[in-house]
Amino acid sequence: MAYARRFLVDQRELSKQERGVLQKLIAAAELVAPLYEKQKNQEYPGANFYPFNATKQEIEKAAKKNPDILSPYTFVERKGKKLVAVPYSKKFNKELTQIAKILKEAAALSTDKKLKAYLAARARDLLQDNFDKSNTLWLETGQSKIGCVIGPFDRYHDKLFFQKRLYTSYVGILDKKRTEEIDKFRQAILVGEKRHLPGAKQAKIPRMKVRVGHTAILSGFAADFLFVSDNLPSSADLYLIKKKGTISTIFYPLLQWRFSTWIWPIYNVIFSSDLQRRFSQEDIEDAFLRISAFSEITRSVMRYDDAAPRLQELFPYFDEIYADVLTIKAASLLYLKGTLTEKELQAILVAEICQGFYYLGCLDKWPHLQTNAVGYALLLDFLLRGNALEKQEGRFTFNFQKAFIAVDELSNVLEYYLSIGSRKDAEEFLGKFKAKEVLEKFAPQLNEILLHQQKQTNSV
């Protein structure tokens, strides 16, 4: 199935009963894939949330009379001349009832009180199109051995209003040791209080946790976008995050896959041999785990109340890369305080560059990752223009000092748009930025990466 990905997980530390719970949750997650497929498939009536021939203005006008039109959990359909809102729970009633039934069975089997309460609440919420109760209970399950997220949460396919939610699911087993390691960094990153630009409406987040998980299945949105981490409540539910906080889950097997398939080969293709000698595979792999975790941590603390409604569909172009830029900045502060060594900090920058090439490299294959690709194109462009990245015989050398200056500059630009910039300004800025021209500057390296990918695929 295209929108469900299974991973082998070591279940030896689970009791027989816990394995039973895990199997049920995997079965429930598998049922999410067809829902996501229907949300995405152009041929399905109601796919992409709005009728194909409805204009943005027409939808806005209809929403004034019927606010459900812009509800996160409805499809908009044309009935005669009118636009009507059909709730997800109605449209997918049969499928959601089946998923809810399995969740209830898993809840009945579980002896983990917090997980039990959460699963039972999630089963109810799936049929009510409101997830606040179960999302609140999810936040209590931070230490549970088994983790399961299921429901409609992210908004990436709503290209008109950045409102409608996509069905997603991930199920996995907590990696306690790695979670504890990352938690130390979380505490060190989350100290201090940042001053904001005058007029910025900063959202204060009371708490955030990171779970590193041995993922057993990704389904729906999570399987399609292949992000190595995700947070719930998602940024779409900022009001709830502000009240209760959020949990980020890192999909460790996916992170390992991306590292071995993309990041490490990219490192070996784009950088000069001098730079390559400086870091081992382990150095870059550790750095890759850190940037994945740090970006989730920094993302949770730098939220603005009005950023998404103000920037609408342009919001993710700024938001995604801002988390990565803040990751580099957070790492540089950890270095200054003696938590990271100079080499570890350098490896973090290198891993971010490789991640940038990953998003640019897979853009043709996965065009839905465009927002991330544009963001990283911005970062690479700032690094190039700041002379932090320099070409030598077709490969890049790196000036770390100049890189931090370039990152600071980009950070200020992104902070402006996310905190106070108008949608018009943001549109103008993105309009002036020619991502394609940046791609051309990196074309030889990107071609080499893609050729390497091709060879790997052929040899499997």
Positions touching other proteins (CB under 8 A) are 184, 187-188, 191-195, 332-339, 342, 345-346, 400-401, 404-405
Give me the least distance between CB of 188 and other proteins, in Å please: 5
Give me the least distance between CB of 184 and other proteins, in Å please: 5
Q: Which is nearer to other proteins, 221 or 404 (CB)?
A: 404
Q: Which is nearer to other proteins, 36 or 398 (CB)?
A: 398
Give me the least distance between CB of 343 and other proteins, in Å please: 11
Given a contact cutoff of 8 angstroms between Cβ atoms, the answer to whether 146 and 173 are in contact is yes
Q: Report the run of H or E that residue 304 belongs to, with start and end.
A: strand 303-304
Distances from the Cα of 178 to the Cα of 190, 298, 446, angstroms: 18, 18, 32
Residues constituting the chain: 460
Q: Which is nearer to other proteins, 192 or 367 (CB)?
A: 192
Give me the least distance between CB of 238 and other proteins, in Å please: 22
Give me the least distance between CB of 244 and other proteins, in Å please: 23
Q: Which is nearer to other proteins, 193 or 282 (CB)?
A: 193
Given a contact cutoff of 8 angstroms between Cβ atoms, the answer to whether 75 and 46 are in contact is yes
Angle at 198 between CA 196 and CA 202, to 5 degrees: 45
SS3 label, residue 19: helix
| DSSP assignments along 259-284, one per residue | IIIIIHHHHHHHB-HHHHHH--HHHH
Q: Which is nearer to other proteins, 27 or 188 (CB)?
A: 188
Q: What residue type is 193 in one-letter code?
A: E
Give me the least distance between CB of 308 and other proteins, in Å please: 23
Rounded CA Rg of the chain: 22
Structure token digits, residue 303? 């939220």
SS3 label, residue 6: strand
Q: Which is nearer to other proteins, 191 or 460 (CB)?
A: 191
